[in-house]
Each structure stands twice: as structure tokens, then as C-alpha cells.
Structure 1
């Protein structure tokens, strides 16, 4: 009997660091593939923004989040997203970009490339198996390049822009007990001084691996990003990106 008690105590000591590890530090890492449709356009003046025809593209994003037990110190999430799209538009009116005027009926190749990096500081207001709710701030860094080219003449122009956009952030997740299923909605938003930027997503999740060492969760959802900026490095843009995504998240 004494030996069995000692063995059980030793086993409990060995398991304790693992079972309580998530209380001390939780690491979430994920990747998503996003079938993106793009609408809107860009220009170098508020009066000259044109609507372009963009093709649908597959874009990707990756993220990692660190959660801890230290009071008053926010958790951290870092997200990287690449948005690339292009297309050919037959202009219905003249369009000026980088000092060149492209006349109506010109076939114009347009290319938009935007890299976005989010540094999110957030607090967990609720956190249990049924409901979790986070709130915080997001510093979104964007670095983009817009390119246009006359398909017939080859005349072209290119402009770049970059900046940090402070945004409000929140996330809510609801789980269905004993099923592995859940839903979540997550978003960042800013509306200030003629700039309006939002990044929202909602998904259904399914946890197909759950043990003491690792959790793995599938995600299928919808994401919508809107970028409406005025005079950021002399660039004006009103672009919308939306579509269905699928992802995988790993929780250590």
C-alpha cells in the first residue's frame, strides 16, 4: 500500500508541470489559405480613384500568439498577411497615375501588392471551454505597391506606400461541449481622419487532436478586409478583399 501511494505521488509530480503548463504559458500558431476576391481601386488623388477589374487570387497568412498568467501584462499576437492581386481593366474614363494620363478605352494592367503585419496586445476578459472573449489594440503595419501598365504601349507607373495604423481589436469564441466544434469572430477596426480600415473574420472550428501535449484545430470561415486610405505617402485607395479561407491552428 505504501509503495502504491509513493508511486502515485511521483506520477502526480511528473504530470503536474504538463497539466499546468497552459496556465503558465500558452502558444498558438496557425496558417490560413484565403481565396480572395478584390474590388475597388487606387490613384494619386482623391478625385481620380478608378474601379479596376481584379482577378481572384489565393493569399496566405500566418500568426502566432503568446498567452501567459502575469496580471496586467497583455498577451501578444503577431499576424502576417500578404495580399497580391492583378487584372486588366478597359478604362471607361481617363486615369492619371504617377504623372501619366491613360485615356478612356485603354486596356490597363493593374497590380496591387500589400504586406500587412499586426502586433496585437490583448487581455482575456473571459477564458473557459465554453466562452472566451479578448479585447485589445492592434498596431497594423502596411507596406504596399501599386503598379499600372498600358497593355498596348507598355507605358507604366509604380508607387509605394507604408505606415502604421492603430486599431481596436476584439475576439469572441464559443465552444460546443463534447463535440470539438466551435465558432469564433475576430476583428480589428479604425475610422479616423478620412482613413477607414477593417479586418474581420468568422469561422467554424473543429479540434481533431486534444491531449496534454498539443491541440490541433481546423478552421473554415470567411474574411473581409477593407482599406480606405487618403493621402498616405501621396496614395489614395479604396480596396476591398473578401472570400472563404481554410486554416490550421496548433496549440502547445
Structure 2
């Protein structure tokens, strides 16, 4: 693991004293509708093939629990859909998932890397103007990549847990109902890397003692570079704008 990543992880776990910025239990729930522009390639050690992926609409839903108990981290669970489709006419032979597709064949591709994030984090700094969260995310991935033509089908799957560093920064704009924010999950090990980064602006529609309701507009960018993960190699990018809504009790 890279030294910089190790430092972030150590910092997140070494500062529990700042975790209790809230004095009461808080529940956050939200969802996002995300329009993705998708690109990249996947394959095996012998060859990766680029595909003309279609733009897709994805969704993301989450719930988070924050509490004032020292040492025990807050928790956030987030479900992310991430499935795309494409087609291409092969310029040369391509083998994948036990099937070989000759040059000139028109093939369809499918990538489904939908996953669930389990994030454990501490509030390092939290007030009405600035908040900073640091922690760890365990990504549970049950992924499938497939290539098909009219007669053959090849697919490879990879499932398991991927740990990433987590960071979330929010900055309120004084004298307005607006907040800008950025959030990231990232890990880099050897020649494999996963980056899930988003930034946006939030408008407080409702804010009172009972409930807060926030409208979000942002941009999210996910990059998945795999080097021999269960035999899969990839360089995939999913990015685009999203519209979200969050409620806080």
C-alpha cells in the first residue's frame, strides 16, 4: 500500500477524540440519480479490448448513523448501481471468459460492477461552517464482465471486499443556504487502483429542529484499474453529473 494512503488510514483511526462533535443521535438518508459517460477497456493479461459503451443512468442510495460515543466510529452504508453496455466490431481476435471471438465479429459487452460501501468514519472537525470526516470504506463487489455474439458468450466474475481510504469535506457559504462539498474513496495497490470521487453544491431546502432537507447537484467520477484481480484486467471510467436529495433527522 502506498505511504500516502497508509498515512491517511492511520490518521483516520488515530483521532477518535474528535469523533463526538454531535451531541445527539443523527440519521442521514439520501439518494442520487447519476447520468454516466462510460469508457475504457477490459480483458486478460494477453489483451484488453476497448468497447463503445452507451451512456447510462445509475442510482445510489445511502443511510448514515452519527452518534456522540467516543472511540466508536460513525457508519454509512451506500448501495451503488454501476452497470453499462456496449458493442463493437472487433479489429482482431479477442478471447475472454473461455470464448474466442474472431476479427470482424460484432460483439456486445456488459459490465456490472454494482457494489455496496460500508464506511466507518470519525468526525475530525465539525461546526456550522466546516466539517471534515476521515475513515475507511469496505467495498463489497459482486462484479460480472461479459462479451457475447450471436453464438458464443464469455464472462468472468470477481467478488470480494476492497478496502479504501475515505474522506469527506463540507464548507458552508456564509450568509447563504449553500454548502460545497467533496468526497472520495480511493486505494492504490501495485498496478491496481480504484478512485471514487465526487464534488458538488448543496442547497438547504428545509432546516429546522425536526428535520433538514437538502438538494444536491454534483459530479462523480469512478475509475477502476485492475491488474490481475481474479484474472481480470481493466481500465474503466464512469463519470457524469448527478442530482441528489438528502434528509437529516
- TM-score, normalised relative to structure 1: 0.87
Which residue, out of 234, 239, 243, partners 2:240? 243
TM-superposed CA distance for 1:216, in Å, is: 0.4
Runs of 4+ in structure 1 off by over 3 angstroms are none
Question: CA shift at 1:171, angstroms?
Answer: 0.7
Q: State how far apart, in whole Å, the 2-side matches of 1:40 and 1:93 are.
A: 17
Deviates more, 1:209-218 or 1:169-178: 169-178
Q: What's the counterpart of residue 23 of structure 1?
A: 23
Contact 1:162 1:232 in 2 (8 A): no
Instruction: Tell me, in whole angstroms, the C-alpha distance in 1 between the residues paired with 2:139 and 2:73.
Output: 17
Aligned partner of 1:227 in structure 2 is 224
Task: Give the CA deviation at 1:177.
Answer: 2.6
Tell me how far 1:207 sits from its aligned partner. Answer: 0.5
SS at match of 1:72: coil
Match in the other structure for 1:61? 60
Cα distance between partner residues in 1 of 2:169 and 2:228: 34
Whole-Å separation in 2 of the counterparts to 1:204 and 1:129: 16
Per-residue deviation at 1:101?
1.7
SS at match of 1:105: coil
For the pair 1:176 / 2:163, whether they are aligned, the reply is no
Residues 1-252 of structure 1: pairs in structure 2 closer than 5 A: 23-43=23-43, 45-150=44-149, 153-252=150-249
Q: Determine the structure 2 residue equivalent to 1:6.
A: none
**Cross-structure match for 2:9:** none
SS, match of residue 29 in structure 1: strand
Partner of 1:15: none
- Alpha-carbon deviation of 1:31? 0.2
Tell me the distance in 2 between the aligned counterparts of 1:138 and 1:212.
Answer: 30
Q: Give me the whole-angstrom Cα distance separating, in 2, the residues matched to 1:142 and 1:229.
A: 13
Q: TM-score, normalised by structure 2?
A: 0.88
Q: C-alpha separation between the residues in 1 aligned to 2:124 and 2:132?
A: 5
What displacement does 1:88 show? 1.0
Distance 1:54 1:229 in 2: 18
Distance, in Å, in 2 between the alignment partners of 1:47 and 1:189 is 27
Does structure 2 retain, via aligned residues, the 8 Å contact 1:189–1:199?
A: yes
- When Rg is computed on C-alpha atoms for both structures, the one with the higher figure is 1
SS for the counterpart of 2:23 is helix
| Residue 108 of structure 1, CA deviation | 0.8
- Identify unmatched segments of 5+ residues in structure 1: 1-21
State the secondary structure of the residue aligned to 2:54.
Answer: coil
